[in-house]
Structure 1
Amino acid sequence: MTAVFLWAHPRSLSTAFLRMMLERGDFLVVHEPLSSIVVQGYAIVDGEKVGTPAELLDLIEQLSAVQQVFVKETTEYLYDVVADPRLPRLATHSFIIRHPARAIASHYAMNPLLTCHEIGYRHQLEIFDLLRRGAAGPLPVIEAERLLDDPHRTVRAYCRAVGIPFLPQALTWQPSERREWSRTAPWHRDAARSTGFRAPDRHYAQTVDNNPVLADFYRYHLPFYERLRAHSLGGRHAEPL
């Protein structure tokens, strides 16, 4: 069987991607278990409670022996577990990125107390570099902008890269709240209202262009984003959305 991880900085459209994986129906889908352990001291995975990252890996290994497992994790934290030698072989690892100008504005709108490291690109790159050392092949990186522009082609390329069938019918779904993201539901209202991969029609009052703190965050994280973007499936997307 298969385990697939998607590592995502916050506000990267990763929950919409997770929603698509739920629609497939052929994976046990796990939402942000490592960040749950950091924030609340435990995560619930397939009805089982785990309290440490090592316990989580044990459970993912057990579950993926009998079914396909998809894990979406965010990178506002740098998790010690990424140095565990089991992790590269335990799953196929992939990444999703979004241009930091849009992601930072969206993140700040949700959390005005946002700190620089919580934006997550540096942690995401560090995880990418650690996992790449033990990976058998390239680690696929998808761009949110490309996903919005051409979902069919982008998801098909992703499925080919991680070795799973492409199911085009999963590109659309009915809007709904999901128990998988109930702990962080306020962060996922757009995903709950969505019916597919479409950019929310939203403008932010505070952006990297008019807020000097956000501008500093942007300058700090842009090099990490660019290094990840160099590995983008299908080449780099031209314009941030």
Structure 2
Amino acid sequence: MTERRIAMWSGPRNLSTAMMRSFGARGDCACVDEPFYAHYLLQTGLPHPMRDEVIASQPADWRQVLPELTTQPAGLPLQYQKHMVQHMLPGMDLDWTASVTNVFLIREPERVAASFAAKRGLPDPAELGFDRQWQLWQHMAAHGLAPVVIDSADIRRDPAAALQALCAAIGIDWTPAMLSWAPGPHPHDGVWGRVWYDAVNRSTGFGGPEGPLPRLEGDLAALAAALRPSYRAIAAHRLRIV
């Protein structure tokens, strides 16, 4: 049976939790939820919701996280690692990414900015991760890691076709079990799920195709426009879903 540790790199509000649900529903995959979050909060000092609880729930040093990410989970052939690109701060060693299968999950900046702002107000551009995601993709590509890119809009439009294409691209079997999951919190969720996972906890599968881009104004529109070049750059490498 094929063994893979799949590192899924995205920014916030990018369908990443639904993808964690999807892989977790396979039955042959362990899931790891944002393992560098505590380190990120300690280093940046950002006042995120549940900050103290998040820091208490995880190793505070990124180096202490690596053994879980570079060792195959006992008894299971697959591991899904949900990573936020903005958590990978300058100075953190990326050599370990050569031991995993890297996938980049992207979403249009207008949708991300609107969704994030609805939760926390106008974000700092770095918190949305677009520029950092493009930097990480370039770093991995330069080191011969051939990271796969998939757009959340393609998943929402046709989950079965998109997930089949993704599974083929990373060398694992596709299963229809990835299309649905039980509602509510899941055991591998981070403690922050109580704040951020309300929508996915109400779901039992992927939502339908997204509608038109949200109409943004003022600072939020300017923010999305500033992030679009990085989105376009990485989107040029996305899987083409038939």
TM range (shorter): 0.7 to 0.9
CA distance in 2, matches of 1:134, 1:18: 26
Deviations 1:188-208 (A, max 9, x none): 11111111110599999xx66
Note the C-alpha offset of 1:182.
4.0
| Percent of aligned pairs sharing the same letter | 25
- The aligned amino acid for 1:209 is L
CA distance in 1, matches of 2:72, 2:224: 39
CA distance in 2, matches of 1:156, 1:91: 20
- The aligned amino acid for 1:157 is A
Deviations 1:162-198 (A, max 9, x none): 1111011220122111232242222111111111110
**Equivalence for 2:87:** 77
Deviations 1:190-230 (A, max 9, x none): 111111110599999xx6622x1111211210000001100
CA distance in 1, matches of 2:229, 2:39: 29
- Of 95, 112, 134, the residue aligned with 1:103 is 112
- Of 154, 164, 169, the residue aligned with 1:161 is 169
Q: TM-score, normalised by structure 2?
A: 0.83
Aligned-partner SS, 1:96: strand
- The aligned amino acid for 2:216 is D
CA distance in 2, matches of 1:113, 1:209: 12
**Equivalence for 2:220:** 214
Aligned-partner SS, 2:103: strand
Structure 1 pair 118/64, CA: closer, same or farther in 2 (3 Å)?
same
**Equivalence for 1:15:** 17
- The aligned amino acid for 2:116 is H
C-alpha RMSD of matched pairs (Å): 2.6
- Of 216, 220, 235, the residue aligned with 1:229 is 235
- Alpha-carbon contact 1:104-1:208 (below 8 Å) kept: no
Q: TM-score, normalised by structure 1?
A: 0.84
CA distance in 1, matches of 2:72, 2:38: 19
CA distance in 2, matches of 1:218, 1:27: 35
Aligned-partner SS, 1:86: helix
Structure 1 gap segments, 5+ residues each: 45-49
Q: Which sits farther off after the overlay, 35-44 or 1-10?
A: 35-44
Structure 2 gap segments, 5+ residues each: 42-53
Note the C-alpha offset of 1:26.
0.8
